Structure 1
Amino acid sequence: MIRILQQNNKFTKVLFAVIIGAAVITMVITLVPGIFDSASTGDPNIFATVHAPGFFGRFGDSTPVKATEVNQLAQRQLQQQRLPDFLLPYMAQRAGQILVQRAILKHEADRMGLQVSDEDLRRELQTGPFAQYLFPNGSYIGDDAYINFVQSAFQISRSDFEQQVKSDLELNRLQALVTGGVTVSDNAVRDAYKIQGTKVKFDYAVVSAEDLRKGINPSDSDLQNFFKQNAAKYANAIPETRKLVYASFDASNLPGGKPQVTDTEVQAYYNQHQDQYQVKEQVKVRHILIAVPSGADAKTDAAAKSKAEDLLKQIKTGGNFADLASKNSDDPGSKVQGGELGWLDRGKTVPEFDKAAFTLSPGQTSDLIKTQFGYHILQVEEKKTAHLRPIAEVKAEIVPVLEQQKAGAAEQNYSKQLEADAKKDGIEKAAAARGLHIVTTDYIAKDGVIPGLSDGSGLIAQSFSSAKGAAPASVAIGEGFAVFQVVDIKAAHAPDFAEYKQHILDDFREQQVPQLLSAQLNKLDDRAKVLNDLKKAAAEMNIPFKTSELVGKDGQVPDLGAMNGPGAVAFTLAKGTISAPINAGRVGVVLDVVDKQEPTPEEIAKNFPQTREQLLSAQHEEIFRVYIGNLTEKYEKAGAVKLTQKQSAPSPLGN
């Protein structure tokens, strides 16, 4: 019954993030031109401010959009879409607009009186998507567990979380108000499912970009001309590299060896961190639940009580509690474990259950306990009284912490001494005086690695911000520190043709492929239509010819991919029709529909409610998107959106 509340796994975090992020991510789909045109100087921690439009709006409340919130959303979108880091500035501007538009919607919802009360929030947490986590089986998990959930899932405070939920509810109300009058006709629903439920089977010829690519074999002269024509592209093709000299050490190299921890230090740490070693009052229990549905009549209640009384009688006369729980309990989460609930903190269950659990002694079984869930029989197995764990019990936990702290501090001091001596006498002499080995690297690029170091990323990064011959500097290397100096730099430069020939060939081929693919597809399509036979045209041109299964729009076809993509054209063609060229990226296809099956009236009727819901959802989304765009334009034109600095509208990628 309470197992889910004891989990702190990735799934729970993702579920929470999806729920609370849904309104932010899906509410705004398009960028609105002009929103980044107005600017003002101000707090760099604030991305933008939004106030109500009009003269009086300038003197009312303004909503700040924080730069940290923009960056967090941008990072989250970057990770979710698995995009490279260099797109972060673009994603940050998109994220900024999403949050600005959210603030605009919040102002509009407030103006319409759609605010959410504390009672509305309480009801949402008890009955909405968070209920199964915060009120499992109707029982509140308690303030401490609630706060822990919010912090682990969102890294925000409870008050910020509740404010976010309130804001989402308010915007949902606004969306419902804006889209509430939307309807779709029965004919539109039938037509939509007729398209959605249609299945096709087709022959298709596949022109592969990879096959075309292999056939592109330019001469050296062609490649040299290509290399010259694209000189700007290759100007810095060979990245900057640096040669370093360094000496590294870890705790084993410290004078006197690894620092030792004294009993006095352990005692001091224990005294300062006693809150970490406090044990709460807890009880370990089993239970049997005979459930009574909410609103059940007296007869149903009496039957449940009678069954519970019979089980209690069996237990009192020597019956095995665990066996009886496994066979009879209505709590699916604990019955398979003989009713075992594990250790419970005081105040974490409903009052009647909590009182009995903490009143009984270990080994005792309760009488019937009536709660909102039904009738319980409870058996106490063990108890823990609230107490402070003694130092002898926790010393083994404290010593490694102090050892790490002391070693870290000693390593840092040692690195500063080594750095100071290296600046004065040179790295070689300073390292030799301490018995440390000097290493000279090969030329290393920014994304390179240093063999022999557990983590050389910090050393490489810092070396690329240092000048050649600059004074030695120290840097952490995962396990220990290193003192280094940049001894040589090779600037980014264009490659020699000979050494870069394979890369140039790859680029040349890649440039030629789209044109060749288009030309080959058009030639195939023309020939197929002249012959009125796709198979014969494919054979003449030595192009692979295949036949699909009978597939719907949710299906997949080899080479062509998902049928809701470029291949969707097949559903619009009559049986026996040869398509126009279909460019699906790395392949091109011409297809010939050989069979087409439309859904029967019975299938349309069966799927009518679901299809109507899908159409309504799409209509709501489209109408609300237009509403957001118009509202944003209104606020922007009225000067109600002020940015902290001038922003460049991001150019769309693939949109």
Structure 2
Amino acid sequence: MGVITGIREKLHFVLYALVAAFIALIVFEWGMNFNGFSGGGALAGKVNGKPIEYRHYERVYESLVDNFRSQALQAELTDAVERELRQRAWDIVVNQIILEEQLEKYNIRVSDEEVVAAVESDNPPMVIVQNFFDQETGSIDREKLEKARMAPENKEIWIRIEDIIRGELVEKKLQQTLNRMVRVSDAELEAVVDRELGSFSASFIPVPYSMAGNDTLFTVTDKEVEDYYNENREMFRQEPTRALDYAVFSAVPSSRDSMSVKNELESLAVNFAEADDDSAFVNLQSDRSDAFDKRYSRADFSVEAGDYVFDESRLEAGGIIGPVADRNAYRLIKVKDVSNGEPVARASHILIPFEEGDATGEAAARETAAVILQDIRAGKRFADLAEQYSQDEGSSSQGGDLGWFARNTMVPEFDEAVFGATTGSLIGPVETRYGLHIISVTGRDTKTITCSEIVRNIRPSDATLENARRKAAEFQIEAEENGFDRAAETLGIDQHTTGYVTKTDMIPEIGYNNTITRFAFTSSKGAVSDVIQTDSGFLVMQVSGNNDSGYRKLDEELQGVIRSELLTRKKGEALDQKLSALLEEKNGNLDAVAGALDGVSVVTAENIRFNEQEIPGYGRDIRLMEAIIGMEPGSVSKPVAISDGRALILLHKKTYEKNDLESRKNMLRAMLEQVKEERFVQDYFAAERRAATIEDLRGF
């Protein structure tokens, strides 16, 4: 049941996310008062003309913050988290009004009698089950429930409970109303049966786009790009965006700042060695208060720091190692014990990626891997080839070096290959979900230390920060007086750009920053910001572009995307014409068609099952599989689109598992109805929200 199960997993909480969660929160926060959020205060926004009072929006946001803090006690409320919670609060208050409109549209009401009937039913509302279910009897404790209802001191609480029940019943009625609009057709069921129960035998000729000819044979004009953009404009719908130019004034710790931290730790070394209570000493002196009685291997250090710490001349129980620089910090280590533990490994790799399901791309990747292996065996340096070929940006500049790592750190296939080899081994290509890896195992070690440590992060000093702030302020004044570009040129400052971003986007190279977002969306084009402090220094920004049209602009980047799409489309059309002509000329004989084309052949596969997502003996190509299962036995297809080109297909036969076929079809129909109902609710509310006139007046 792979397809259905996959869809169900994705949609499992849709209804609660879009309906029930709104009702539950509204009930708890405001009761069942579906009259908008207006009470005469400042407004956070409007939905279809109905006001959202700012204080109500803030109450929702504060509730989400409280929940976040209760669920993640040690987590920091960063700009990214705050932005996510504010967006979630905004979605809740907007969707509540949209929900209210649907209740009015379908005249959905719940009477007091219905609430009482629900409480007394054999299947009572969730709030009753949670509070009055008797584990011993397996049923509701009616006596306890009745006492709770009748107790005078519970009067106000019970009114609240009835409101919660009313909300649950409203949600149920709305769900039932929407569900009545959903039907499963015979054609839909047949398609799902083919995917779930069908087995196919087919022959096909895959023809890559490259066989259409060189890119230079196909012209894509500016007008074609513009026409595609206009005809498919809804594809490029987006929230309002802003573009920013900015100058960076880094506050990177100076060598003096680094040396100051090192000196501080050196001054603590003697007292640390003599301390009887490492826990208290670490808690008082370290930036990591839990860094005592820890067990470390080389994998817990950078390569350079690991080499220093695990040098045989320093590894001695009771000894002090360091301070040693490691990943923007200094570490002073008090060794308690040295022993052998689980092995760790060091390796370098070269990654050649390919898209999942792209058989042509995979073949090309394997050819590249073969060339690289040949070069290594011929004596070329692995590091040089990693810099030349590897698509792992994190390690290619380091010659492919991944440093030291423990078991189960890497994806399983990579992990198994490395820990199953010896130092000096050359392995590969190893296939993972990232692509193909050629791996050089450069080290193995089993030594571990049990220790406590004082860790001090290397931070910029006040003097370093003030120096960067002063430079930023000078630039800001110059930019205000003479323009941003002129200031950058005069002071020799590099300019950067964010490109167009929405309120909720992460800003490239910067991350989430609420101060920047507020400036960008409350300032006019050309406005220059005050000096903005970030974790890495200071910024001065200028709004260089704005777009409130609701659609992405046809900028240079988007033109390139569309041009590539049109080029692929033209190549596909050329292949369509070529293959259609050959198919007619050869009377539908695939072998004859393949014989007329250079470099292609007929592939025959048995027992093709959509659930297995792979064609036996060929590989993954979902578009090709979709085409195969949509055919009738004995038919030859017209050219069909596949992941990297076109294909002609002959379907030999289609069979089904015969055991309980009809009962399984009925089960699939029921599951499909449920999936469609859930998807319909999702799509319905998404469409209602898109159609709504939403004014965001929050000012950020």
TM bucket (normalised to shorter chain) is 0.3 to 0.5
Is the radius of gyration larger for structure 1 or structure 2? 1
TM-score, L = length of structure 1: 0.39
Structure with the larger strand share: 2
TM-score, L = length of structure 2: 0.37
